[in-house]
Amino acid sequence: MGKLNLAEAYKDYFEIGAAVNPEVLESGGELIKSEFSSVTCENEMKCISVQPNMNEYTFERADKVVNFALENNLKVRGHTLVWHNQTGEWLFKDKQGADVSKETLYTRMKEHIDTVVKRYAGKVYCWDVINEAVSDGANEYLRVSSPYYKICGGEEFMEKAFIYAHEADPAALLFYNDYNTENPEKREKIYRLLKSFKDKNIPVHGAGLQCHYNIDFDVSELKKSIDLFSSLGIDIHITELDISIYKWGEENGLNFEVLPEDRMKIQAELYDKIFGLLRANKDKIGSVTFWGLNDGVSWLNGFPVKRNNFPLLFDKYNKPKEAYNRVIKF
């Protein structure tokens, strides 16, 4: 008998999630309810969304997503508390526009984490506490251009963030989340960071692998990252999976009106391989989330350049694609 939906097919493996927003809940609510067991707010829980100005909290949009999830028995991944992007400048500046002291930044960071995490305690079961703090640069460990790094330096601000989040909700599972986690050099840096947290007993429970891939991605690199990070005794979540139908760096003006047959097949094959690997490692993996519900609403239609992209399992009409058939049939 064919499997009815993704969440059902994967119930003995891991949660199956989608990144959503209130508009997607309107247009795709039924599909989300029938195919997924977990949701993540695409933007609604980021610092710029929940605290655009100091002490001015705006939770309406995040609440909509959380309430939808609770009403429909879906889990919620919290994303994200500390990130150099999509964060109001106010966090790092005093009234004169100069950088605040490290002490002031920690006070503000604690206040933010406390307010957001406590609001959703018992509703959000895990948090991406830190997003993208490791550098992509050769010979650079952490992202030195981040205002957090500039003001606080090193690993300390992350350790404090994990501690504050743990104090705010001791039951929540706390993650370090990043992209390019399959790049050998970056993998080592992330491992070094996670190991340092573990050695100091910092409350970090998992590694979030974003998994924004292109159709020429080499799956064996993903396996190495899963093995290395989970050797620290932490959980792995795939947090933002999508597969661009363009190759890595293929930004030469190519812009397909529809998903070409050959690329559709390569994409489906790659999704198949990735899910085969994830299933084989289900003891290490707690959740797999797609970054978006369907091709029409994917951020990849605007990144890294504006062009049509088709990175997900459902087309813009919410119809399952060949990639969906491959993921659900095993």
Asked if residues 65 and 21 have their Cβ atoms less than 8 Å apart, the reply is yes
Nearer to ligand GLA, 131 or 214 (CB): 131
DSSP assignment of 255-286, as one string? --SS--HHHHHHHHHHHHHHHHHHHHTTTTEE
Burial of 273 (0-12, 13-18, 19+ CB in 10 A): middle
Size of site (CB under 6 A) for ligand GLA: 6
Asked if residues 16 and 38 have their Cβ atoms less than 8 Å apart, the reply is yes
- Annotated catalytic residues are 132, 240
d(CA 233, CA 170): 18
Asked if residues 242 and 292 have their Cβ atoms less than 8 Å apart, the reply is yes
Query: Shortest gap between Cβ of 79 and ligand GLA (angstroms)?
Result: 6
Query: Shortest gap between Cβ of 309 and ligand GLA (angstroms)?
Result: 12
Q: How far is CA 74 from CA 19, 40, 191, in A?
A: 12, 10, 31
Nearer to ligand GLA, 87 or 131 (CB): 131
Residue 183 binds ligand GLA, judged by CB under 6 A:
no
Residue 179 binds ligand GLA, judged by CB under 6 A:
yes
- Provide the 3-class DSSP secondary structure of residue 41: strand
Nearer to ligand GLA, 13 or 120 (CB): 120
Identify whether 107 is preceded by a cis peptide bond (ω within 30 of 0). Answer: no
Q: Position of tokens 């959703």?
A: 120
Query: Shortest gap between Cβ of 35 and ligand GLA (angstroms)?
Result: 20
How far is CA 177 from its chain centroid?
A: 6
Residue 299 binds ligand GLA, judged by CB under 6 A:
yes
Nearer to ligand GLA, 177 or 326 (CB): 177
Query: Shortest gap between Cβ of 50 and ligand GLA (angstroms)?
Result: 13
Residue 155 binds ligand GLA, judged by CB under 6 A:
no
Residue 44 binds ligand GLA, judged by CB under 6 A:
no
Which residue of this chain has its Cβ atom nearest to ligand GLA in the complex?
Answer: 299
DSSP assignment of 99-121, as one string? BPPHHHHHHHHHHHHHHHHHHTT
Nearer to ligand GLA, 19 or 25 (CB): 19
Residue 240 binds ligand GLA, judged by CB under 6 A:
yes
Residue 294 binds ligand GLA, judged by CB under 6 A:
no
Nearer to ligand GLA, 59 or 299 (CB): 299
Residue 295 binds ligand GLA, judged by CB under 6 A:
no
Residue 21 binds ligand GLA, judged by CB under 6 A:
no
d(CA 140, CA 145): 11
Residue 175 binds ligand GLA, judged by CB under 6 A:
no
Closest by Cα among 18, 14, 13 to 239: 18
Query: Shortest gap between Cβ of 224 and ligand GLA (angstroms)?
Result: 21
Asked if residues 167 and 113 have their Cβ atoms less than 8 Å apart, the reply is no
Q: Round the CA-based radius of gyration of the chain to a whole number and report it.
A: 19
Residue 131 binds ligand GLA, judged by CB under 6 A:
yes
Query: Shortest gap between Cβ of 45 and ligand GLA (angstroms)?
Result: 9
Residue 59 binds ligand GLA, judged by CB under 6 A:
no
Where on the chain is the footprint of ligand GLA (CB under 6 A)? 79, 131, 179, 210, 240, 299
